[in-house]
Amino acid sequence: MSDDRTRAHVFVSGRVQGVYYRASTRDAARNRDIEGWVKNLDDGRVEAVFEGSENAVEEMIEWCHTGSEAADVESVEVEYEAPEGESGFRIEW
């Protein structure tokens, strides 16, 4: 693992469920060599974890502010954590 590897735990609020947000997040993360996961929460938010190079993780966080074309993002909360060695990027159910 590279020294600049970082982990961001992200919560996205707004109209982010039922608008292809998780699948778009998965595709965007894979395009940036980000590892982690994304899932819907019962309260209507989307939760995600991104692990990768600091620059790539920051790009993903910025991407979350727009998300999929049909999404209407109201807020993105980010908590930084120690990397846990995620492998691949998946949608969790």
- Output the six-digit token pair for 12: 């996205």
Residue with tokens 């727009």, as numbered in its chain = 66
Task: Please count the other Cβ atoms lying within 10 Å of the Cβ belonging to residue 6.
Answer: 18
Instruction: Give whole-number Cα distances, 69 to 32, 73, 76, in Å.
Output: 19, 10, 16
Q: How many CA atoms lie within 13 A of 75 on its CB side?
A: 5
- Just list the catalytic residues: 22, 40
